[in-house]
Structure 1
Amino acid sequence: MSKPKVIFLDAVGTLFGVKGSVGEVYQTLSNQAGVGASAKQLDQAFYRSFAAANAMAFPDVSNVEIPHREYLWWLAIAKDTFQRAGIFQEFSDFEGFFEGVYQYFATAEPWIVYDDTLSSLQRWQTMDISLGIISNFDSRIYAVLEALNLKQYFESITISTEAGAAKPAPLIFTTALEKHGCRPQEAWHVGDSRKDDVKGAEAVGIRGIWLKRPSQTKIQAPRIA
Protein backbone atom coordinates (compact mmCIF):
# COMPACT_ATOMS: atom_id res chain seq x y z
CA MET A 1 0.00 0.00 0.00
CA SER A 2 1.24 3.51 -0.73
CA LYS A 3 1.68 5.78 2.27
CA PRO A 4 -1.23 8.14 2.93
CA LYS A 5 -0.75 11.75 3.92
CA VAL A 6 -3.39 11.46 6.64
CA ILE A 7 -5.02 8.59 8.52
CA PHE A 8 -8.35 9.43 10.10
CA LEU A 9 -9.76 7.18 12.80
CA ASP A 10 -13.12 6.67 14.40
CA ALA A 11 -13.10 7.00 18.20
CA VAL A 12 -15.43 4.68 20.16
CA GLY A 13 -15.06 1.08 19.00
CA THR A 14 -11.83 1.87 17.20
CA LEU A 15 -9.42 3.62 19.58
CA PHE A 16 -11.23 2.89 22.82
CA GLY A 17 -14.42 1.29 24.05
CA VAL A 18 -16.71 1.02 27.05
CA LYS A 19 -15.46 -1.19 29.88
CA GLY A 20 -17.82 -4.14 29.88
CA SER A 21 -20.94 -2.62 28.33
CA VAL A 22 -23.11 0.48 28.52
CA GLY A 23 -25.69 -1.61 30.37
CA GLU A 24 -23.16 -2.58 33.02
CA VAL A 25 -22.15 1.03 33.54
CA TYR A 26 -25.79 2.10 33.78
CA GLN A 27 -26.47 -0.72 36.24
CA THR A 28 -23.59 0.32 38.51
CA LEU A 29 -24.60 3.98 38.52
CA SER A 30 -28.28 3.11 39.02
CA ASN A 31 -27.42 0.93 42.00
CA GLN A 32 -25.43 3.80 43.49
CA ALA A 33 -28.59 5.91 43.14
CA GLY A 34 -30.59 3.26 44.98
CA VAL A 35 -32.33 1.83 41.92
CA GLY A 36 -32.06 -1.86 41.10
CA ALA A 37 -31.29 -2.53 37.45
CA SER A 38 -30.46 -5.35 35.05
CA ALA A 39 -27.33 -4.76 32.98
CA LYS A 40 -28.64 -7.04 30.21
CA GLN A 41 -31.99 -5.27 29.98
CA LEU A 42 -30.37 -1.84 30.05
CA ASP A 43 -27.89 -2.84 27.38
CA GLN A 44 -30.62 -4.11 25.07
CA ALA A 45 -32.76 -1.05 25.75
CA PHE A 46 -29.88 1.35 25.15
CA TYR A 47 -29.01 -0.04 21.73
CA ARG A 48 -32.65 0.06 20.65
CA SER A 49 -32.94 3.66 21.83
CA PHE A 50 -29.66 4.64 20.22
CA ALA A 51 -30.59 3.02 16.91
CA ALA A 52 -33.94 4.82 16.86
CA ALA A 53 -32.46 8.28 17.54
CA ASN A 54 -31.84 10.93 14.92
CA ALA A 55 -28.24 11.61 13.95
CA MET A 56 -26.34 13.64 16.54
CA ALA A 57 -25.69 16.65 14.35
CA PHE A 58 -27.01 20.18 14.68
CA PRO A 59 -26.64 22.18 11.46
CA ASP A 60 -27.15 25.94 11.74
CA VAL A 61 -26.70 25.86 15.52
CA SER A 62 -24.18 28.25 17.10
CA ASN A 63 -21.08 26.82 18.77
CA VAL A 64 -22.26 28.20 22.09
CA GLU A 65 -25.50 26.23 21.92
CA ILE A 66 -23.96 22.91 20.79
CA PRO A 67 -23.04 21.51 24.26
CA HIS A 68 -26.60 22.03 25.51
CA ARG A 69 -28.06 20.37 22.41
CA GLU A 70 -25.68 17.43 22.91
CA TYR A 71 -26.83 17.08 26.51
CA LEU A 72 -30.51 17.09 25.53
CA TRP A 73 -29.85 14.52 22.78
CA TRP A 74 -28.30 12.08 25.25
CA LEU A 75 -30.91 12.84 27.92
CA ALA A 76 -33.66 11.78 25.50
CA ILE A 77 -31.85 8.50 24.78
CA ALA A 78 -31.26 7.84 28.47
CA LYS A 79 -34.92 8.46 29.32
CA ASP A 80 -36.05 6.14 26.56
CA THR A 81 -33.51 3.51 27.65
CA PHE A 82 -34.70 3.41 31.25
CA GLN A 83 -38.35 3.52 30.16
CA ARG A 84 -37.78 0.53 27.88
CA ALA A 85 -36.07 -1.25 30.78
CA GLY A 86 -39.12 -0.54 32.96
CA ILE A 87 -37.33 1.30 35.77
CA PHE A 88 -37.57 4.97 34.80
CA GLN A 89 -40.34 5.58 37.35
CA GLU A 90 -38.11 4.36 40.18
CA PHE A 91 -35.94 7.49 40.00
CA SER A 92 -37.07 10.40 42.15
CA ASP A 93 -34.94 12.80 40.09
CA PHE A 94 -33.94 11.18 36.81
CA GLU A 95 -32.43 14.33 35.33
CA GLY A 96 -30.26 14.76 38.41
CA PHE A 97 -29.15 11.14 38.04
CA PHE A 98 -28.47 11.60 34.34
CA GLU A 99 -26.33 14.68 34.89
CA GLY A 100 -23.95 12.51 36.92
CA VAL A 101 -23.98 9.82 34.22
CA TYR A 102 -23.24 12.39 31.54
CA GLN A 103 -20.27 13.77 33.43
CA TYR A 104 -19.01 10.28 34.23
CA PHE A 105 -18.68 9.48 30.52
CA ALA A 106 -16.47 12.56 30.12
CA THR A 107 -13.83 10.94 32.35
CA ALA A 108 -11.44 8.02 31.79
CA GLU A 109 -13.35 5.74 34.17
CA PRO A 110 -15.89 4.08 31.82
CA TRP A 111 -13.44 3.65 28.93
CA ILE A 112 -10.71 1.21 28.00
CA VAL A 113 -8.01 1.95 25.42
CA TYR A 114 -7.48 -1.08 23.19
CA ASP A 115 -4.14 -2.82 23.64
CA ASP A 116 -2.83 -1.96 20.22
CA THR A 117 -4.05 1.62 19.95
CA LEU A 118 -0.92 3.35 21.21
CA SER A 119 1.51 1.19 19.23
CA SER A 120 -0.44 1.84 16.03
CA LEU A 121 -0.60 5.59 16.59
CA GLN A 122 3.09 5.77 17.49
CA ARG A 123 4.11 3.72 14.46
CA TRP A 124 2.16 5.94 12.09
CA GLN A 125 3.67 9.04 13.67
CA THR A 126 7.21 7.72 13.14
CA MET A 127 6.28 7.39 9.47
CA ASP A 128 5.35 11.10 9.36
CA ILE A 129 1.69 10.37 8.74
CA SER A 130 -0.71 12.97 10.11
CA LEU A 131 -3.51 11.61 12.28
CA GLY A 132 -7.04 12.86 12.76
CA ILE A 133 -10.29 11.73 14.33
CA ILE A 134 -13.66 11.65 12.57
CA SER A 135 -16.36 10.67 15.04
CA ASN A 136 -20.10 10.82 15.64
CA PHE A 137 -19.27 11.80 19.21
CA ASP A 138 -20.05 14.96 21.15
CA SER A 139 -17.74 17.62 22.54
CA ARG A 140 -16.89 15.50 25.58
CA ILE A 141 -14.45 13.73 23.27
CA TYR A 142 -11.83 16.38 23.98
CA ALA A 143 -11.92 15.65 27.71
CA VAL A 144 -12.00 11.89 27.12
CA LEU A 145 -9.00 11.92 24.78
CA GLU A 146 -7.11 14.06 27.28
CA ALA A 147 -7.99 11.74 30.16
CA LEU A 148 -6.94 8.67 28.14
CA ASN A 149 -3.65 10.31 27.09
CA LEU A 150 -4.57 10.09 23.40
CA LYS A 151 -5.17 13.70 22.42
CA GLN A 152 -1.49 14.39 21.77
CA TYR A 153 -1.44 12.06 18.77
CA PHE A 154 -4.05 13.90 16.73
CA GLU A 155 -3.65 17.01 14.63
CA SER A 156 -7.39 17.32 14.07
CA ILE A 157 -10.63 16.22 15.72
CA THR A 158 -13.80 16.40 13.66
CA ILE A 159 -17.07 15.49 15.38
CA SER A 160 -20.60 15.37 14.03
CA THR A 161 -22.05 17.95 16.39
CA GLU A 162 -19.54 20.58 15.31
CA ALA A 163 -19.46 19.62 11.62
CA GLY A 164 -23.24 19.76 11.36
CA ALA A 165 -23.37 16.29 9.81
CA ALA A 166 -22.84 12.75 11.07
CA LYS A 167 -21.12 9.85 9.35
CA PRO A 168 -21.78 8.55 6.73
CA ALA A 169 -22.72 12.02 5.40
CA PRO A 170 -20.01 13.44 3.10
CA LEU A 171 -19.79 16.79 4.92
CA ILE A 172 -18.06 15.44 8.03
CA PHE A 173 -15.36 13.80 5.89
CA THR A 174 -14.78 16.82 3.68
CA THR A 175 -14.63 19.02 6.78
CA ALA A 176 -11.84 16.81 8.16
CA LEU A 177 -9.97 16.85 4.85
CA GLU A 178 -10.03 20.65 4.74
CA LYS A 179 -8.32 20.81 8.14
CA HIS A 180 -5.32 18.98 6.65
CA GLY A 181 -5.37 20.58 3.20
CA CYS A 182 -5.62 17.02 1.94
CA ARG A 183 -7.14 15.48 -1.18
CA PRO A 184 -9.42 12.47 -0.61
CA GLN A 185 -7.09 10.08 -2.43
CA GLU A 186 -4.31 11.02 0.00
CA ALA A 187 -6.26 9.90 3.06
CA TRP A 188 -7.45 6.74 4.79
CA HIS A 189 -10.23 6.38 7.32
CA VAL A 190 -10.24 3.46 9.80
CA GLY A 191 -13.39 2.57 11.73
CA ASP A 192 -15.56 -0.23 13.08
CA SER A 193 -18.70 0.50 11.04
CA ARG A 194 -19.02 -0.63 7.43
CA LYS A 195 -21.78 1.88 6.78
CA ASP A 196 -20.58 4.93 8.67
CA ASP A 197 -16.83 4.55 8.30
CA VAL A 198 -16.06 2.52 5.20
CA LYS A 199 -18.91 3.46 2.87
CA GLY A 200 -19.01 7.02 4.17
CA ALA A 201 -15.30 7.51 3.50
CA GLU A 202 -15.36 5.82 0.11
CA ALA A 203 -18.26 8.00 -1.02
CA VAL A 204 -15.95 11.03 -0.95
CA GLY A 205 -12.91 9.22 -2.35
CA ILE A 206 -11.13 8.38 0.93
CA ARG A 207 -9.83 4.83 1.33
CA GLY A 208 -12.11 3.19 3.92
CA ILE A 209 -10.71 0.44 6.15
CA TRP A 210 -13.05 -1.68 8.24
CA LEU A 211 -11.77 -2.51 11.70
CA LYS A 212 -13.66 -5.49 13.07
CA ARG A 213 -13.60 -5.81 16.83
CA PRO A 214 -15.89 -8.76 17.60
CA SER A 215 -14.94 -8.91 21.28
CA GLN A 216 -12.75 -5.86 21.77
CA THR A 217 -9.95 -7.69 19.96
CA LYS A 218 -6.82 -6.03 18.69
CA ILE A 219 -6.62 -3.56 15.83
CA GLN A 220 -5.61 -5.24 12.62
CA ALA A 221 -3.66 -2.11 11.73
CA PRO A 222 -3.03 -1.80 8.00
CA ARG A 223 0.63 -2.17 7.18
CA ILE A 224 2.16 0.47 4.96
CA ALA A 225 5.07 -0.41 2.72
Structure 2
Amino acid sequence: MFVKHQYATLLDIPSSLSLPKVIFLDAFGTLFGVRGSVGHIYSQIASKYGVNCSPELVNKYFYTAFKNSTPCVFPGVPTSDIPMCEYQWWRDINRQTFTAIGAIEQFADFELFFKELYWYFTTPAVWEIYPDTIAALTNWQRSNVQLGILSNFDSRLHTVLKVLDLDGYFSTVTISTEVSAAKPNAEIFTAALNKYQCLPQSAWHIGDSLEQDYLGADNAGLTAIWLNRR
Protein backbone atom coordinates (compact mmCIF):
# COMPACT_ATOMS: atom_id res chain seq x y z
CA MET A 1 0.00 0.00 0.00
CA PHE A 2 1.36 3.41 -0.96
CA VAL A 3 1.28 5.97 1.85
CA LYS A 4 1.96 9.49 0.64
CA HIS A 5 2.49 11.16 4.03
CA GLN A 6 4.04 9.07 6.81
CA TYR A 7 6.07 10.50 9.68
CA ALA A 8 7.42 9.32 13.04
CA THR A 9 6.65 12.50 15.00
CA LEU A 10 4.55 15.61 14.51
CA LEU A 11 7.74 17.65 14.12
CA ASP A 12 8.80 15.50 11.15
CA ILE A 13 5.97 16.86 9.00
CA PRO A 14 7.90 18.99 6.48
CA SER A 15 7.40 22.70 6.05
CA SER A 16 7.16 22.07 2.31
CA LEU A 17 3.58 20.88 2.88
CA SER A 18 1.41 23.96 2.42
CA LEU A 19 -0.46 24.62 5.64
CA PRO A 20 -4.25 24.19 5.40
CA LYS A 21 -7.11 26.17 6.84
CA VAL A 22 -7.56 23.63 9.63
CA ILE A 23 -5.62 20.68 11.00
CA PHE A 24 -7.56 17.89 12.69
CA LEU A 25 -5.66 15.63 15.05
CA ASP A 26 -6.49 12.32 16.61
CA ALA A 27 -6.04 12.26 20.40
CA PHE A 28 -4.91 8.96 21.96
CA GLY A 29 -1.80 7.61 20.24
CA THR A 30 -1.24 10.91 18.45
CA LEU A 31 -1.03 13.62 21.11
CA PHE A 32 -0.70 11.45 24.20
CA GLY A 33 -0.47 7.83 25.29
CA VAL A 34 -0.89 5.66 28.37
CA ARG A 35 1.85 5.65 31.00
CA GLY A 36 3.14 2.08 31.02
CA SER A 37 0.30 -0.02 29.62
CA VAL A 38 -3.44 -0.50 29.95
CA GLY A 39 -2.76 -3.92 31.46
CA HIS A 40 -0.57 -2.51 34.22
CA ILE A 41 -3.15 0.14 35.15
CA TYR A 42 -6.02 -2.35 35.16
CA SER A 43 -4.01 -4.83 37.23
CA GLN A 44 -2.91 -2.16 39.68
CA ILE A 45 -6.46 -1.07 40.43
CA ALA A 46 -7.75 -4.66 40.45
CA SER A 47 -5.22 -5.48 43.18
CA LYS A 48 -6.96 -2.94 45.43
CA TYR A 49 -10.02 -5.19 45.19
CA GLY A 50 -8.09 -8.34 46.04
CA VAL A 51 -7.70 -9.50 42.44
CA ASN A 52 -4.17 -10.35 41.37
CA CYS A 53 -3.57 -10.91 37.68
CA SER A 54 -0.83 -10.68 35.07
CA PRO A 55 -0.57 -7.20 33.51
CA GLU A 56 0.65 -8.80 30.30
CA LEU A 57 -2.38 -11.10 30.08
CA VAL A 58 -4.77 -8.28 30.93
CA ASN A 59 -3.18 -6.12 28.24
CA LYS A 60 -3.41 -8.91 25.64
CA TYR A 61 -7.06 -9.75 26.26
CA PHE A 62 -8.09 -6.13 26.67
CA TYR A 63 -6.90 -5.32 23.16
CA THR A 64 -8.53 -8.48 21.83
CA ALA A 65 -11.87 -7.46 23.35
CA PHE A 66 -11.43 -3.88 22.18
CA LYS A 67 -10.66 -4.83 18.57
CA ASN A 68 -13.58 -7.28 18.44
CA SER A 69 -16.09 -4.80 19.83
CA THR A 70 -18.59 -2.84 17.76
CA PRO A 71 -17.75 0.87 17.29
CA CYS A 72 -18.46 3.08 20.28
CA VAL A 73 -21.34 4.94 18.63
CA PHE A 74 -25.00 5.05 19.59
CA PRO A 75 -27.24 6.26 16.74
CA GLY A 76 -30.63 7.50 17.85
CA VAL A 77 -29.66 7.76 21.52
CA PRO A 78 -30.49 11.12 23.17
CA THR A 79 -27.41 13.22 23.91
CA SER A 80 -28.12 13.07 27.65
CA ASP A 81 -27.92 9.26 27.58
CA ILE A 82 -24.62 8.98 25.70
CA PRO A 83 -22.32 9.09 28.77
CA MET A 84 -24.11 6.10 30.29
CA CYS A 85 -23.92 4.21 26.98
CA GLU A 86 -20.19 4.89 26.85
CA TYR A 87 -19.82 3.66 30.41
CA GLN A 88 -21.69 0.43 29.63
CA TRP A 89 -19.67 -0.08 26.42
CA TRP A 90 -16.40 0.07 28.33
CA ARG A 91 -17.79 -2.05 31.18
CA ASP A 92 -18.60 -4.81 28.69
CA ILE A 93 -15.05 -4.73 27.34
CA ASN A 94 -13.67 -4.92 30.87
CA ARG A 95 -15.90 -7.85 31.79
CA GLN A 96 -14.78 -9.68 28.65
CA THR A 97 -11.14 -8.97 29.52
CA PHE A 98 -11.26 -10.28 33.08
CA THR A 99 -13.48 -13.19 32.07
CA ALA A 100 -10.94 -14.22 29.42
CA ILE A 101 -8.12 -14.38 31.96
CA GLY A 102 -10.28 -16.26 34.47
CA ALA A 103 -10.35 -13.47 37.05
CA ILE A 104 -13.92 -12.17 36.88
CA GLU A 105 -15.14 -14.41 39.72
CA GLN A 106 -12.44 -13.03 42.03
CA PHE A 107 -14.18 -9.64 42.22
CA ALA A 108 -16.44 -9.25 45.24
CA ASP A 109 -17.89 -6.16 43.56
CA PHE A 110 -16.92 -5.77 39.91
CA GLU A 111 -19.17 -2.71 39.50
CA LEU A 112 -17.34 -0.82 42.24
CA PHE A 113 -13.98 -1.75 40.72
CA PHE A 114 -15.02 -0.68 37.24
CA LYS A 115 -16.42 2.65 38.42
CA GLU A 116 -13.07 3.55 39.98
CA LEU A 117 -11.17 2.34 36.92
CA TYR A 118 -13.38 4.21 34.46
CA TRP A 119 -12.98 7.57 36.12
CA TYR A 120 -9.29 7.03 36.85
CA PHE A 121 -8.78 7.41 33.11
CA THR A 122 -9.80 11.06 33.39
CA THR A 123 -6.84 11.87 35.65
CA PRO A 124 -3.39 13.06 34.49
CA ALA A 125 -1.74 10.11 36.28
CA VAL A 126 -2.79 7.80 33.43
CA TRP A 127 -1.47 9.80 30.50
CA GLU A 128 1.80 11.09 29.08
CA ILE A 129 2.01 13.78 26.42
CA TYR A 130 4.43 12.86 23.65
CA PRO A 131 7.60 15.02 23.56
CA ASP A 132 6.80 16.51 20.13
CA THR A 133 3.17 17.41 20.84
CA ILE A 134 3.40 20.82 22.47
CA ALA A 135 6.07 22.15 20.10
CA ALA A 136 4.06 21.11 17.03
CA LEU A 137 0.78 22.56 18.32
CA THR A 138 2.52 25.81 19.27
CA ASN A 139 4.12 26.10 15.81
CA TRP A 140 0.79 25.64 14.07
CA GLN A 141 -0.92 28.15 16.33
CA ARG A 142 1.76 30.73 15.56
CA SER A 143 1.07 30.13 11.88
CA ASN A 144 -2.62 30.96 12.49
CA VAL A 145 -3.81 27.49 11.54
CA GLN A 146 -6.99 26.42 13.27
CA LEU A 147 -6.73 23.15 15.19
CA GLY A 148 -9.43 20.61 15.98
CA ILE A 149 -9.60 17.24 17.68
CA LEU A 150 -11.19 14.42 15.66
CA SER A 151 -11.30 11.26 17.75
CA ASN A 152 -12.97 7.91 18.34
CA PHE A 153 -12.53 8.52 22.07
CA ASP A 154 -15.58 8.96 24.33
CA SER A 155 -16.85 12.09 26.07
CA ARG A 156 -14.25 11.76 28.83
CA LEU A 157 -11.87 13.25 26.29
CA HIS A 158 -13.08 16.74 27.15
CA THR A 159 -11.83 16.24 30.71
CA VAL A 160 -8.59 14.55 29.62
CA LEU A 161 -7.69 17.45 27.32
CA LYS A 162 -8.35 19.87 30.16
CA VAL A 163 -6.29 18.06 32.83
CA LEU A 164 -3.40 17.71 30.36
CA ASP A 165 -3.61 21.45 29.54
CA LEU A 166 -4.18 20.67 25.86
CA ASP A 167 -7.69 22.06 25.51
CA GLY A 168 -6.51 25.61 24.84
CA TYR A 169 -4.91 24.61 21.55
CA PHE A 170 -8.15 23.45 19.94
CA SER A 171 -11.16 25.40 18.76
CA THR A 172 -13.33 22.28 18.29
CA VAL A 173 -13.53 18.72 19.54
CA THR A 174 -15.36 16.14 17.41
CA ILE A 175 -15.93 12.77 19.08
CA SER A 176 -17.44 9.67 17.50
CA THR A 177 -20.02 9.10 20.23
CA GLU A 178 -21.29 12.66 19.87
CA VAL A 179 -21.82 12.50 16.08
CA SER A 180 -22.90 8.82 15.84
CA ALA A 181 -20.08 7.96 13.45
CA ALA A 182 -16.59 6.62 14.05
CA LYS A 183 -13.48 6.79 11.90
CA PRO A 184 -12.95 5.61 9.20
CA ASN A 185 -16.58 6.52 8.41
CA ALA A 186 -16.59 9.68 6.29
CA GLU A 187 -19.48 11.11 8.31
CA ILE A 188 -17.27 11.99 11.28
CA PHE A 189 -14.88 13.89 9.00
CA THR A 190 -17.80 15.75 7.45
CA ALA A 191 -19.11 16.68 10.91
CA ALA A 192 -15.72 18.11 11.85
CA LEU A 193 -15.34 20.02 8.58
CA ASN A 194 -18.80 21.56 8.93
CA LYS A 195 -17.74 23.25 12.16
CA TYR A 196 -15.32 25.34 10.08
CA GLN A 197 -17.38 25.54 6.89
CA CYS A 198 -14.29 24.00 5.35
CA LEU A 199 -13.86 21.90 2.21
CA PRO A 200 -11.97 18.60 2.62
CA GLN A 201 -9.12 19.75 0.39
CA SER A 202 -8.49 22.65 2.77
CA ALA A 203 -7.89 20.41 5.78
CA TRP A 204 -5.40 17.89 7.13
CA HIS A 205 -6.08 14.99 9.41
CA ILE A 206 -3.21 13.52 11.44
CA GLY A 207 -3.51 10.26 13.35
CA ASP A 208 -1.68 7.10 14.38
CA SER A 209 -4.05 4.53 12.84
CA LEU A 210 -3.43 3.57 9.22
CA GLU A 211 -7.00 2.37 8.72
CA GLN A 212 -9.02 4.77 10.84
CA ASP A 213 -6.99 7.96 10.48
CA TYR A 214 -5.01 7.79 7.24
CA LEU A 215 -7.35 5.80 5.02
CA GLY A 216 -10.45 7.32 6.60
CA ALA A 217 -9.25 10.87 6.01
CA ASP A 218 -7.94 10.08 2.53
CA ASN A 219 -11.27 8.56 1.49
CA ALA A 220 -13.07 11.62 2.87
CA GLY A 221 -10.94 13.91 0.69
CA LEU A 222 -8.70 15.43 3.37
CA THR A 223 -4.92 15.49 3.21
CA ALA A 224 -4.18 12.38 5.26
CA ILE A 225 -1.06 12.17 7.43
CA TRP A 226 -0.11 8.92 9.14
CA LEU A 227 1.78 9.44 12.38
CA ASN A 228 3.56 6.10 12.61
CA ARG A 229 5.29 6.40 16.00
CA ARG A 230 6.48 2.78 15.76
Interval containing the TM-score (normalised by the shorter chain):
over 0.9
Structure-1 residue corresponding to 2:14: none
Structure 2 residue aligned with 1:2:
18
Partner of 1:220: none
The answer on 1:192 being equivalent to 2:208 is yes
Partner SS for 1:14:
coil
Q: CA RMSD in A?
A: 0.6
Equivalent position to 2:46, from 13, 30, 33:
30
TM-score, normalisation: structure 1: 0.94
CA apart distance, 1:59: 1.2
Secondary structure of the residue aligned to 1:65 is helix
| 1:39 corresponds to 2:55 | yes
% same residue: 48
2:214 is aligned with what amino acid?
Answer: V
Deviation of 1:174 (Å): 0.3
**Residue type of the partner of 1:135?**
S
SS of the equivalent of 1:208 reads strand
| 1:133 and 2:133 matched | no
After superposition, the C-alpha distances for 1:131-178 in whole angstroms (9 at most, x for unaligned) are 001100100000000000000000010000001000000110000000
What's the counterpart of residue 219 of structure 1?
A: none
Residue 97 of structure 1 corresponds to 113
For structure 2, the 5+ residue unaligned runs are 1-16
| One-letter amino acid matched to 1:180 | Y
In structure 1, stretches of 5+ residues that fail to align are: 215-225
Matched, 1:167 2:177: no
Matched residue SS, 1:180: coil
Question: Matches of residues 84-163 of structure 1 in structure 2 within 5 Å?
Answer: 84-163=100-179
Residue identity in the other structure for 1:15:
L
1:93 Cα offset (Å)? 0.6
Tell me the CA shift for residue 204 of structure 1: 1.2
Note if 1:54 corresponds to 2:37.
no
Q: Does the residue aligned with 2:228 lie in a helix, a strand or coil?
A: coil
Specify the alignment match of 1:221 in structure 2: none
What displacement does 1:27 show?
1.0
Aligned to 2:220: 204
Paired residue total: 214
**Deviation for aligned residue 1:32:** 1.7
Q: Equivalents in 2 of 1:181, 1:33: separation in Å?
A: 50
> For 2:49 and 2:169, how far apart are their aligned partners in 1?
37
- 1:165, 1:85 → 2: CA distance? 31
Cα deviation per residue 1:42-75 (whole Å; 9 max; x = unaligned)? 0001000001100001111111010000000000
Equivalent in the alignment of 1:83: 99
Letter in 2 for 1:206: L
Moved over 2 A (4+): none
Counterpart CA distance in 2 for 1:34 and 1:113 is 31
Q: Deviations over 1:182-201 (max 9, x none)?
A: 11000000000010001100
